[in-house]
Structure 1
Amino acid sequence: MRKYMLLVILLSACATIPKTSVKDTTILPIHSLTLLHKYIFPYNMLFNGTTVGGLSGIDYDSARKVYYLICDDRSEKQPARFYTVQVPESNYDRDSIRFTHVTYLRMPDGNVYPSAKTLAPDPEAMRYNPHTGHLVWSSEGERIISGQGNIINDPGIYDIDSSGRYLGSYPLPEQFHMRATENGPRRNGVFEGLGFTPDDRYMFVSLEEPRYEDGPRADLRDTTAYIRIIKYDLHTRQPIAQYAYKLSPIAHPSVPDSAFRVNGISDILVLSETQLLVMERSFSTGVKNNTIRVFKVDLQHATDIKAVNSLRETTRFTPAQKTLLLNFDTLDTFVDNVEGMTFGPVLSNGHRSLIFVVDNNFDRKEETQFYIFEVKQ
């Protein structure tokens, strides 16, 4: 493996996102991924008055050859925001990733999001839609239950323009409203992944962890941890279907055994109306590496479960089928909290690139990493 690039070049530039014409970009079958390079960024790097970290989602704009990175800062360090960056297409040892712009997310009233927990979002995923020139981002909402008072904020999916201005939201199916009781989504286990079909007909949105009604969280030997993937019709903006996806067991025991551990979906890539790439991230306290597994997923024969409130109480459904494509445990490097992935440009050999980004949780012990892979079809 090539040595890691530590140099970071920062550029201040005005970023606009024009609407562009779109060709058919149907993704061919993917057989394997090969790591080309890994970048590591300094802890708490500053850019245009903001702290770079918490990078939870990434998407590529092929017309402008830039990437959009959403930050999961709940307006605690600076207001909720996303970054525009440029990633080298070759010469990885000589060139670095360039941050070119920071854009603040806006509430419907035009203001940036405040730090108050009752109003602050939890940004997790972002995709650029070349058919509209708009961006769509998701928030996990909030669910804090305490004797001092509850904070209940629904998750959400929002349209914005290039300046971060709020344009609208997508209807939330009843099963995904936050509640003070143990019903609906779990805290920090909601909308971590989203993406569009290449023809701009549908959008898929994935939960990170199971709803309370759908079963337990993933564990070391659990085989009943099901999350939901929602399908939206982009023409009507309505949710039209839901599919069950079974999480893999947690990869490693925590140390000690009673300490925190988790596995869930941290991002998805939509290849077609029935084909997805799904990234699962397993973390166990006391284990340095996160285990990142990327699966090829087929929805063709999966049951539409939108009318089923509890997967825990029924076995009459067929989940999505999944096949392992890549386990980051096979890479000879420290793998941190990978949360975002996107297809990048076509490489000089004609193969597509696939880019992954790490959320360092604004923690000195973690790293902001970028991985560049070659896609072999």
Structure 2
Amino acid sequence: MKKTLITLACTLALGACAPFAPTKPSIPDLTVSGLRFIGEQRLPWRQQFQGTMVGGLSGIDYDAAHDEWVMISDDRSQFNPARYYRAKLAYDAQSFKSVQLTGVGIFLQPDGTTYPSREESKRSNGVVPDLETVRVDPRDGSIWYGSEGDVALSLDPFIRRAAPDGRYQYTLPLPPLFTVSKEHKSGPRNNQSFEGLSFTPDGRTLWVALEGPLYQDGPEPTPSQGAVNRITHFTRDGTVLGQYAYPLEAIPATPGKGKYADNGISEILSLSERRMLVMERSGVQADDGSYKDYVRIYEIDTDGATDVQHLPTLKDASYQLVKKRLVLDVGDLKLPIVDNLEGMAFGPRLANGHASLVLISDDNFSKTQVTQLLLFDVLP
């Protein structure tokens, strides 16, 4: 029944009924001295679009070939099957005018079925998705996306490629380091796995970032101390070109008594072969149960950092961290709200010749949160 929700790419005016023309990377070897805020747009809570509920938008990217944006939902097939949306964003260097949804694509598993919900997975062999990041392939327009997996269900994280209509094409081979363990002794922590994905500007290779530290690499960050997690450089066939330790900041505020707080990488965006932007997002719960989000964007450089791919653990190991520089603390913008920002992508160049940058928030389908898109001018 759920297959009837699949919207084919040709009905989205994507031109997928004809061969895709390769696209050129639009932002080669970018330099970033700062970010100038231009404006904000929001989507309505639980907006209905083409038979689906819009929300949980945890990743975004720009499709230059069609002048459209793709936005992935982390709905674990609870409301509708795992999917991504297409949209038109109207803006210039002075204002962010509008966001218009244009299409939806339902992701399919290798056997051609939709991804199941957690409840449905008890009756099937499907993989419950937790999709957190999305990129348009600069070579052929295909859609790459990442799932965090599920430790309790023994589901490993994955990076997959799909056709624009959502049909499965490929899974990136991963080293055993990313295999989950119910014993919580090794592998990714639950809900702290693949959050960041980015092609290098030439499109030949890609970077993948964990949200938080592997169990064997040490504890999670706290309000008093940071942590380390790994960012991995892959070829398209899964060969690891390098892996580097990233220093996570401490949680920037103290949660209420017995309440939750975290900090981790929510997205990465390549600037060159070795440099990238990293978005750290922290959620801190107050005594009344409400959350405040802290979002900071850093530029990092892996040049000179130790390749740690052969280190089974980072505890007590000797290595050089990546270099890191704060570009923007989103809290300094004094916006009415900084929500759960999880996606980050470059868009078309502005009239002044600068790159544009868009951030998007995951509202968790919650009425107390918002789906916000923030637009920036990238200052060279």
TM over 0.5: yes
Match of 2:129 among 114, 117, 121: 121
CA distance in 1, matches of 2:362, 2:15: 25
Query: Alignment partner of 1:213: what SS?
Result: helix
CA distance in 2, matches of 1:356, 1:253: 25
1:33-48 to structure 2, matched below 5 A, reads: 33-48=35-50
CA distance in 2, matches of 1:310, 1:153: 22
For residue 191 of structure 1, report the CA deviation from its aligned partner: 0.2
Q: State the 4+ residue runs in structure 1 displaced beyond 2 angstroms.
A: 12-21, 89-95, 116-119
For residue 340 of structure 1, report the CA deviation from its aligned partner: 0.1
Aligned AA for 2:171?
S
Task: Deviation per CA, 1:27-80: give whole Å up to 9, x if none.
Answer: 331111011111122211110111110000000012211101010000000000
For residue 252 of structure 1, report the CA deviation from its aligned partner: 0.9
CA distance in 1, matches of 2:25, 2:210: 30
Aligned residue number for residue 282 of structure 1? 282
1:85-96 to structure 2, matched below 5 A, reads: 85-90=87-92, 95-96=97-98
Aligned residue number for residue 165 of structure 1? 167
State whether residues 14 and 66 of structure 2, in contact with CA within 8 Å, keep that contact through their aligned partners in structure 1.
no
Match of 1:339 among 317, 338, 342: 342
Question: Is 2:250 the counterpart of 1:249?
Answer: yes
| Structure 1 residue ranges without an equivalent (≥5) | 1-11, 145-150
Aligned residue number for residue 360 of structure 1? 363
Aligned residue number for residue 238 of structure 1? 239
Aligned AA for 1:275?
R
Task: Deviation per CA, 1:168-218: give whole Å up to 9, x if none.
Answer: 111111111011111211000000000111112211000000011001101
Change (3 A) 1:307 1:125: same
State whether residues 158 and 170 of structure 1, in contact with CA within 8 Å, keep that contact through their aligned partners in structure 2.
yes
For residue 92 of structure 1, report the CA deviation from its aligned partner: 7.7
Aligned AA for 1:130?
P
State whether residues 282 and 290 of structure 1, in contact with CA within 8 Å, keep that contact through their aligned partners in structure 2.
yes
Aligned residue number for residue 79 of structure 1? 81
Give the TM-score of the pair, scaled to structure 1. Answer: 0.91
Match of 1:184 among 179, 184, 187: 187
Task: Deviation per CA, 1:215-266: give whole Å up to 9, x if none.
Answer: 110111214x1100111012x432232110010111111123x310000000
Aligned residue number for residue 291 of structure 1? 294
Question: Is 2:151 the counterpart of 1:143?
Answer: yes
Aligned AA for 1:114?
P
Query: Alignment partner of 1:187: what SS?
Result: coil
State whether residues 63 and 141 of structure 2, in contact with CA within 8 Å, keep that contact through their aligned partners in structure 1.
no
Aligned AA for 1:251?
P
Identity of aligned residues (%): 37
CA distance in 2, matches of 1:21, 1:342: 16
CA distance in 2, matches of 1:246, 1:302: 12
Query: Alignment partner of 1:27: what SS?
Result: coil
State whether residues 132 and 147 of structure 2, in contact with CA within 8 Å, keep that contact through their aligned partners in structure 1.
yes
CA distance in 2, matches of 1:353, 1:28: 11
State whether residues 15 and 84 of structure 1, in contact with CA within 8 Å, keep that contact through their aligned partners in structure 2.
no
CA distance in 2, matches of 1:267, 1:91: 24
Question: Is 2:221 the counterpart of 1:218?
Answer: yes
Instruction: Tell me the C-alpha RMSD between the 2 structures.
Output: 1.7
Give the TM-score of the pair, scaled to structure 2. Answer: 0.90
Aligned residue number for residue 14 of structure 2? 15
State whether residues 305 and 322 of structure 2, in contact with CA within 8 Å, keep that contact through their aligned partners in structure 1.
yes
State whether residues 147 and 157 of structure 2, in contact with CA within 8 Å, keep that contact through their aligned partners in structure 1.
yes
State whether residues 15 and 101 of structure 1, in contact with CA within 8 Å, keep that contact through their aligned partners in structure 2.
no
CA distance in 2, matches of 1:285, 1:71: 23
CA distance in 1, matches of 2:96, 2:207: 37
State whether residues 16 and 162 of structure 1, in contact with CA within 8 Å, keep that contact through their aligned partners in structure 2.
no
CA distance in 1, matches of 2:173, 2:278: 23
Query: Alignment partner of 2:177: what SS?
Result: helix
CA distance in 1, matches of 2:261, 2:25: 43
State whether residues 89 and 345 of structure 1, in contact with CA within 8 Å, keep that contact through their aligned partners in structure 2.
no
Change (3 A) 1:94 1:251: closer
For residue 100 of structure 1, report the CA deviation from its aligned partner: 0.4
State whether residues 136 and 158 of structure 1, in contact with CA within 8 Å, keep that contact through their aligned partners in structure 2.
yes
CA distance in 1, matches of 2:24, 2:371: 32
State whether residues 181 and 187 of structure 2, in contact with CA within 8 Å, keep that contact through their aligned partners in structure 1.
yes
Task: Deviation per CA, 1:67-118: give whole Å up to 9, x if none.
Answer: 0101000000000000000101239868420000000000001111121354
State whether residues 93 and 377 of structure 2, in contact with CA within 8 Å, keep that contact through their aligned partners in structure 1.
no
State whether residues 187 and 214 of structure 2, in contact with CA within 8 Å, keep that contact through their aligned partners in structure 1.
yes
State whether residues 152 and 180 of structure 1, in contact with CA within 8 Å, keep that contact through their aligned partners in structure 2.
yes
Match of 2:316 among 313, 318, 334: 313
| Structure 2 residue ranges without an equivalent (≥5) | 1-10, 122-126
Aligned AA for 1:268?
I
Change (3 A) 1:99 1:160: same
